[in-house]
A and B are shown apart, each in its own frame.
Chain A
Amino acid sequence: MWRLPRVLRVPAVAFGFLGAWLGILLPGLAGAAEVVVYSARHYGQEAAFEAFTKKTGIQVKVFNGNTGELFERLKSEDERTPADVLLTVDAGNLWNAARAGLLAKIDSPQLEANVPGHLRDPENRWVGLTVRARTIMYNTAKVKPSELSSYEALGDPKWQGRLCLRTSSYIYNQSLLATMIKRHGESRTEEIARGWVANKPTLINSDTKILEAIAAGQCDVGLTNHYYLARLVSKNPSFPVAPFWANQQTTGTHVNVSGAGVTAHAKNRANAIKFLEYLSSPEAQQLFADLSFEYPANPQAAVNPLVARWGKFKRDDINVAAAGELQAAAVKLADRVGYK
C-alpha cells in the first residue's frame, strides 16, 4: 500500500484540518428572499415549510433549540437578531416570550380569520398553529369508559395505584394545572392535585412511556397529549389504549397549542407575516395535521383520519394564554402538594 512519506504526514493532517475548518467558516451564499425561524418545535412541519418556499420563493432558514435557551439567545441578540419568527410549543412559552417583549404585534385579517380567538394572543403577538388535547388515556382491557369522567375524578380512591402521571417538571402538566387554576381557583385546584397525589401515581417523564406503561398494565389510566397515542396506534393498530375526552359535562377537555410570533426586531417582517399566514392556511394546516397527528388550528382543515376516529369533543375554550400567566403558580402548587 502506498503511504505518505513521513515528513509530509504532519503537514497533510494540518492542511486537512484547516480545510475542514474553512469549510465550516465560509458562509453559504446569502439567499435572496428569506425568513429566519428560531424553532423549539422539531417535528412534523418540514413539509409545510417546503411548500411555502415552493409557493413564494422565500427560503425558510431554521435554527432549532430549547425554548428557554432560544429565548435567551433572542433576548441577548436584541435588535441585531437574525430571527424573524419564533416557533414554539405550549401557550405558556408563547405568553412568556410576548411578556418579555420579544414578539411584535401582527396585524393580519387573514390570521384572524384562519385561527379562532381563544387560540391566539389577545394582543395578537402570537398565533396558535396546531392544537393538542391533553386528556385521559385508559387501557381498553381493564377500564370501561363509563368509569371515567374528569381530570378531577382521577383523584377518586378507586384509582389508587392505577394512575400514571407525567412528572410535574414538564410544561404540559404545568399548563393543565394553570388552566385549572384559572377555571376553579387556586384552593380547589390544590385539592384536585392532592387527590391525584393521594392515589400514589407512578411518575414518568415521557408521554410515550406513560402510554406504553398503560398498554403493558403497569397502570390503567393516565394523562397524555393525544398525538403521542396516535403515533403509537399508527405503528400498531391494536395498541390497547384509547383516549377518553375529559370534562365533557363541564368545562371541556384541556387543549394547548404550538404556535409562532414575529420577532420584535425581524429584518424580514413582511416575509414573516406571509409565512405565518401560509402556515395557518387550510393547505399548510392539512400538512401539519397529516404529519403530526395534531388538530389543525384552522377549522377548515380536516383532522387526520386516525385521530378523527376518536370523535369530536368539547374543548375548554379558555384563552390558552392563561397557561402562561398562571404557570409559576401551578409549579408552586405542585411543590406544595408534593406532586413531583
Chain B
Amino acid sequence: MTNGPRSARVRTVPGAGALPATVVPSAWTLGAAAIAALVAVPLLSVVASLARPAVDVWVHLWRTQLLELSLNTLVLLVGVGLGTAVLGTALAWLVVGYEFPGRSVFEGGLMLPLAVPAYVIGFAFLGLFDYAGPVQTALRAWLGDGARVPELRSAGGVILLMTLVFYPYVYLLARVAFVEQGAGTLETARSLGRSRLAAFREVTLPLARPAIVAGASLAMMEALADFGTVATFGYRTFTEAIYRVWYGMFDRAAATQLASLLLLFALGLLALERALRGRARFEQSHRRGPGITREQLRGHRAAAATLGCALVLTLAFALPVGQLLVWAAEAAGPFFVPSRFAGVLRNTVVIATTGAAVCAVFALVLAYARRLHPAPGVRVATQFAAMGYALPGSLIAVGILLPTAWADHHLVDALERLLGRPVGLVLTGSILGLVFAYVVRFLAVAFQTLDAGLGRIPSSLDDAARSLGAGVAGVLARVHVPLLRRGLLTALVLVFVDTMKEMPATLLLRPFGFTTLAVEVWERTSESLWAEAAVPALAIVLAGLVPVSLAIRWSGRAGR
C-alpha cells in the first residue's frame, strides 16, 4: 500500500462486473437483501395502499389543487437542491482552499447548524422577522409604517430557510471529499497552466461531484418529507396536503396513497442523482502527501470570505440560538426539573447513539454489497431501502406501527397460549420498534455518505488486498474501514443528530413513559408555548454540539 496512486484516477467502469464474479460472496448479497427487505416493509405498505384507491379524494385534489401542489413541491426541491449545493460547496472550498481571518474557527463552526432542528430555526425566524417581530417593528419605528422585509411565508422564504438548515449535509460531504483529494490533483492541473479557480472547476469539483450530489439529494429528500416547516410557513406542498387529508378529512388511507406520489418524486430524485453522477465512477486513493495548500486571501477578498461565513453562521446558528436563549431566560423556571431532565437527556443520547450505530452498520453492508456485486438487482434494492428518508415521518411511523402490531398480536397470541395468562404487547411501542423506525428513516443518510466515500477508494486496492490472501470481510475491515474513517464518522454524526431531532416517529412509537428532548420540545410547541420549549430545544443543540465538535476534531483539519 505504500505505493498507492498519488493522484486521482478517473476511471470509467462499465455498469457491472468491476470485480470477477468468482469473488462475489452470497453472504453479503443476502445480508443486504435482508436489510433492504426489512426496511422496505413500511415503504411497501405505502405502495400497497394504492390497491384500494380513495377515488373521491383523488378526484377532489385533481380538480382543486394537484397542479399547484406539484408545482410548489417542485419549486421547493429545485430551490433547496441548488441552494444547498451552491452554498455548501462554496463554503467547503473556501475553508479548504483559502486562508482568511477566522478560517479555522469557521471550518468547524459551519457544521454547527446541523445541531439545530429545522423546526427550531423555523419558529425562531418567524419570531424575529414576522411583522410583529422585533426586526420589522424596529424598521417601522425608523422608516415609518410602510417599511417591510420580504414576506417569509413564501416560496423564497421556505427555500432560504431550508437552505440554511440543510446546507451542512453538502458542506460536510464536500469538505471531506476536498480534503481527501489532497494537493496532488490540484497542483497537477496548476502545473499544466490552469489558474487556481479553473483547476478547481475542472478537476477538484468534478472529483467531488458524487459527494456534492449525495449531500444535495439528502437535503432535497428532507425538504420533500418536511411537514413542520412548510406548515409553519403556510407553504403548501404534497406533504402538507397529505396531513390535510389525514387530520382534516380523517382519512389516513387516502393520505397514505398520496404519499406514494412522494415516492415518485423520490424516484425522480434518485434518477437525477444517477444522471448527475454520470456513468463515470471517480476513484481515488486515500490522500497521501501534503494537503491542499491554502491560498492566502487579502484585502477585500479576505473580508468578503470572513463576512460571508459569519453571515451564514449568524443566520443559521447564532440568531436562532440567541432567540432560544432569550426565551429560555423568560420561561425556564417551572419546566426545568433537573432529575427528570437528566433522564430525558439519557434517553435521547442512548437512543440516538443506538440508531446511529445500527444505521452505519446496515449502510456499510448495503454499500459494500453493492461494491462487490454491482448488479441491477442489488442497486435497486439498496436505492429503495434508502427512500424512507423522503417520506413524512408520521406516515413512515404508521407504516411501521401497523405491520409491527400485526406481528405482535400473533406473537402474543402464541405466548398467551403457551403461558396460559394474558401478556401485554411486546414489540409495539418498544425500543426495538423505535430503533427500527430510525433505521427506516435515516438509513439513507448513512448510506449516501458511505457510498460516496467507498466510491472514492480504487477497486485496485481490493484486488491487491485479495491477491495477498485477505478475505472479503478482511478487505473491508483492514482496507476500507480505515480508509473510510472520515466517511463513517460523518455518517455516525449525521444519523446521531438526525435521530436526536426526530419527532413524529419518536412520538408515536416510543414506549410508555419514554421521553426524549424532541418530545419535550413538541409537547410545548404543539400548544404554541414557544418560550417554554426553549430549554429542551437548547438541550438538543448542546447535545448535538458534542458529536459535531468531536467529528471536527477527529476528521482532522484540511491540509494538516
- List residues of A whose CB falls within 8 A of some B CB: 17, 20-21, 23-25, 28, 36, 42-43, 61, 63-70, 72-73, 76-78, 80, 82, 92, 96, 167, 169, 171, 174, 203-209, 212-213, 215-218, 228, 324, 327-328, 330-332, 335-336, 340
Contacts and interface: CB of A to CB of B under 8 A. Distances in A.
Interface in B407-432: 409, 412, 424-425, 428-429, 431
Nearest to B243: A169
A25 B523 CA distance: 23
A82 B495 CA distance: 32
Given A203-B234, A205-B232, A331-B244, A72 B131 contact: no
Contact of B247 (A67, A73, A78, A218): A67
Interface of B: 60-61, 64-65, 126, 130-132, 136-137, 145, 153, 231-234, 236, 240, 243-252, 346-347, 349-351, 353-354, 394, 397-398, 401-402, 404-406, 409, 412, 424-425, 428-429, 431, 504, 507-508, 512-514, 519, 523-524, 526-529
B64 A80 contact: no
A101 B428 CA distance: 20
A207 B528 contact: yes
A76 B405 contact: yes
B236 A340 contact: yes
B409 A80 contact: yes
B130 A212 contact: yes
Contacts of B232: 205-206
B394 A66 contact: yes
A64 B401 contact: no
Contacts of A216: 131-132, 136-137
B244 A169 contact: yes
A25 B514 CA distance: 10
Q: Which 3 A-B pairs have the closest CB atoms?
A: A216-B132, A76-B405, A218-B131
Contact of B513 (A28, A174, A213): A28
Given A63-B512, A66-B507, A76-B428, A171 B131 contact: no
Contact of A73 (B153, B350, B429): B429
A80 B426 CA distance: 10
Nearest to B531: A235
A303 B130 CA distance: 33
Contact of A80 (B240, B243, B404, B412): B412
Nearest to B397: A69
Contacts of B236: 340
Nearest to A21: B350
B440 to A, nearest CB: 16
Contacts of A209: 126, 130, 132
B176 to A, nearest CB: 25
29 contacts: A17-B350, A24-B346, A24-B347, A43-B529, A63-B513, A66-B508, A67-B247, A69-B398, A73-B429, A73-B508, A76-B404, A77-B405, A80-B424, A82-B424, A167-B234, A205-B231, A205-B234, A207-B528, A209-B132, A216-B132, A216-B136, A216-B137, A217-B145, A218-B131, A228-B528, A328-B251, A330-B248, A332-B60, A340-B236
